Chain A
């Protein structure tokens, strides 16, 4: 496949992870190439979100190794992983509720970089025109410029999801992990989301998307990875994976 010639962005080697003493991930091997859109599908409880938590450092892998751009990030704390260039959204949209939409984005811009350059004692309310324009631009990308000064908790659910994407993008990531990106979106919004994904890829981002329902993923991704019960059961092109007998039985429960 053509992607084999491209550089690897993220590599997981035999990742095992536990939650509350229960094994959730049992030996995940996965490679994601630069500028690829990979979707992880699978039924509830397959370990998809846990996998994102492990990659972004929220849950420590009990064994295995994670390489990002050939750098071992297995045991780094979340904020350091963010500084290296991995951003994520959450399954349940959680914006900083008391901040406005643009403040959410700006907060990510301030802290998403190398912290040694952070001016801790500078007033955060005085932002330069350049930063402001960049934040507005990010809101435009996700289609929220008119809500810039609205408090995040007053946004609708789909707006909050888009704000999450803008906030993740504000940290200047190379790899973007989207958790349940398309859940609860209207058909029109899904069209927009597809456009957004391709747009992001053309900006040089690599995307790893989790999708429970197969609505967005199927159309946008280069590669599908199917998970069930903490294992990868199939991987490859859309057709290959969706027609894979194990995947069908996992989804239908037979």
Chain B
């Protein structure tokens, strides 16, 4: 074992060397930019954009999950982001770009409330509480007709910027999702590889032991939740601008909470690229293979695929590429 690089000895050997890391990074960037210079069919572009959005959502969800708590209520952040941004633009004529940030911050505020109220909850109780917290907001938005327009939803949401074109599915908007994905990747990478990431790791392994060696577990948990909720809020805002229509069931629905969990687990929660790749692969597979082949039963096949993939590689698709340690 002595021949290993002194710099990284003791720690898990990285999946890739520095050189191949650079290649990976540039490959990702080039791949993300291809659709801008060579626009594909509109449906491909739309699926690609949404896949990047859901992949980023999965990154954001996993950021919080890396602190050791599983949330089943991220739809709350998604919906709060979407509704806050859209309503603030509607009522106060705020610039959509600015309301993008407002949406993110509103979600982060709700994240802070979670932190304060669910302070003592762990494991199943925490997950249940997050699920309930999303339902509470959903019901409020659903019934507060005078402000939120209730279950009728809000339509005709303008795109984030005006391109003068009719279609919403074009490379200009795709670029936004590509940028979002890059940001999510960077944050997700740092949640796995920096000292902050190490603090998250120790916190999720054992809160008690982590604090006994000086990790400020509450600070670490709070930062993870705040960044996670902020990013989820941003995803929600971008979603509302892209689809052009929101209603409570769409943005606060359980599927919004569940999807990032599926993507993150499927891609590999402990890999920087895992959640994004999980989102891209599964969403594409769903839209272009399942939907045409099994129009009526595609969700059942979808579920079956998830079961089979997790059965074959419980730690996600990417773990298949990891070199297995030989146990001596």
How many residues does chain B have at the interface if contact means C-beta atoms less than 8 Å apart?
A: 33
Tell me whether B202 and A96 are in contact (CB under 8 A): yes
Contact with A along B204-231 (1 / 0, CB 8 A): 0110111111111110000000000000
Determine the chain B residues whose CB is within 8 A of the CB of A168 once the complex forms.
212-213
Contact with A along B1-37 (1 / 0, CB 8 A): 1000011111110100000000000000000000000
Q: Which of A76-133 contact B (CB under 8 A)?
A: 77-79, 82-83, 87-88, 90, 94-100, 102-103, 106-108, 110-113, 115, 118-127, 129, 132
Closest Cβ neighbor of B13 among chain A residues: A125
- A135 interface contact, C-beta 8 A: yes
Closest Cβ neighbor of A123 among chain B residues: B193
Determine the chain B residues whose CB is within 8 A of the CB of A88 once the complex forms.
212
Q: Which of B181-204 contact A (CB under 8 A)?
A: 190, 193-199, 201-202
Among B12, B190, B217, B218, the most chain A Cβ lie within 10 Å of the Cβ of B12
Tell me whether A120 and B10 are in contact (CB under 8 A): no
- A162 interface contact, C-beta 8 A: no
Among B193, B196, B211, B213, the most chain A Cβ lie within 10 Å of the Cβ of B213
Q: Name the distance in Å between A144's Cβ and chain B's nearest Cβ.
A: 12
| Count of chain A to chain B residue pairs whose CB atoms are closer than 8 Å in the complex | 121
How many residues does chain A have at the interface if contact means C-beta atoms less than 8 Å apart?
A: 47
Tell me whether B214 and A112 are in contact (CB under 8 A): yes
Among A118, A125, A135, the most chain B Cβ lie within 10 Å of the Cβ of A125
- A149 interface contact, C-beta 8 A: yes
Q: Within the complex, which residue of A98, A148, A149, A170 is in contact with B213, where a contact is CB–CB below 8 Å? A: A170
Determine the chain A residues whose CB is within 8 A of the CB of B201 once the complex forms.
96, 98-99
User: A88-B212, A111-B213 in contact; A126/B7 too (CB < 8 A)?
Assistant: yes
Tell me whether B11 and A79 are in contact (CB under 8 A): no
Closest Cβ neighbor of A58 among chain B residues: B208
Tell me whether B194 and A127 are in contact (CB under 8 A): no
Tell me whether B212 and A107 are in contact (CB under 8 A): no
Q: Given the complex of chains A and B, what is the CA–CA distance between A130 and B315 in angstroms?
A: 34
Q: Which of B145-202 contact A (CB under 8 A)?
A: 190, 193-199, 201-202
Q: Given the complex of chains A and B, what is the CA–CA distance between A104 and B327 in angstroms?
A: 19
User: A94-B209, A121-B196 in contact; A103/B214 too (CB < 8 A)?
Assistant: no
Q: Name the distance in Å between B133's Cβ and chain A's nearest Cβ.
A: 26
Determine the chain A residues whose CB is within 8 A of the CB of B218 once the complex forms.
77
Determine the chain A residues whose CB is within 8 A of the CB of B10 once the complex forms.
100, 102-103, 106, 127, 132, 135, 148-149
Contact with B along A137-168 (1 / 0, CB 8 A): 00000000000110000100000000000011
Tell me whether B202 and A132 are in contact (CB under 8 A): no
User: A96-B205, A132-B9 in contact; A121/B194 too (CB < 8 A)?
Assistant: yes
User: A90-B208, A96-B209, A120-B195 in contact; A111/B215 too (CB < 8 A)?
Assistant: yes
Tell me whether A123 and B213 are in contact (CB under 8 A): no
- A171 interface contact, C-beta 8 A: yes
Tell me whether A90 and B194 are in contact (CB under 8 A): no
Tell me whether B14 and A78 are in contact (CB under 8 A): no
Q: Within the complex, which residue of A79, A149, A167 is in contact with B9, where a contact is CB–CB below 8 Å? A: A149
Tell me whether B196 and A100 are in contact (CB under 8 A): no
Q: Name the distance in Å between B53's Cβ and chain A's nearest Cβ.
A: 26
User: A115-B216, A149-B9 in contact; A94/B194 too (CB < 8 A)?
Assistant: no
Q: Name the distance in Å between B101's Cβ and chain A's nearest Cβ.
A: 22
- A56 interface contact, C-beta 8 A: yes
Among A99, A106, A119, A124, the most chain B Cβ lie within 10 Å of the Cβ of A124
Q: Given the complex of chains A and B, what is the CA–CA distance between A147 and B195 in angstroms?
A: 23
User: A97-B205, A107-B202, A129-B6 in contact; A124/B213 too (CB < 8 A)?
Assistant: no
Q: Within the complex, which residue of B193, B214, B327 is in contact with A83, where a contact is CB–CB below 8 Å? A: B214
Q: Given the complex of chains A and B, what is the CA–CA distance between A115 and B218 in angstroms?
A: 14
Q: Name the distance in Å between B239's Cβ and chain A's nearest Cβ.
A: 29
Q: Given the complex of chains A and B, what is the CA–CA distance between A58 and B206 in angstroms?
A: 13
Determine the chain A residues whose CB is within 8 A of the CB of B211 once the complex forms.
58, 77-79, 82
Q: Name the distance in Å between A178's Cβ and chain B's nearest Cβ.
A: 12
Sample of 16 A–B contacts (CB below 8 Å): A77-B218, A79-B216, A82-B212, A82-B214, A87-B213, A96-B206, A97-B205, A102-B9, A103-B10, A107-B198, A107-B215, A108-B214, A120-B194, A124-B193, A124-B195, A132-B9
- For the complex of A and B, the 6 pairs showing the least CB-CB separation, nearest first, are A102-B10, A108-B213, A78-B211, A111-B214, A82-B214, A112-B214
Residues in A lying within 8 Å of B, measured CB to CB:
56, 58, 77-79, 82-83, 87-88, 90, 94-100, 102-103, 106-108, 110-113, 115, 118-127, 129, 132, 135, 148-149, 154, 167-168, 170-171
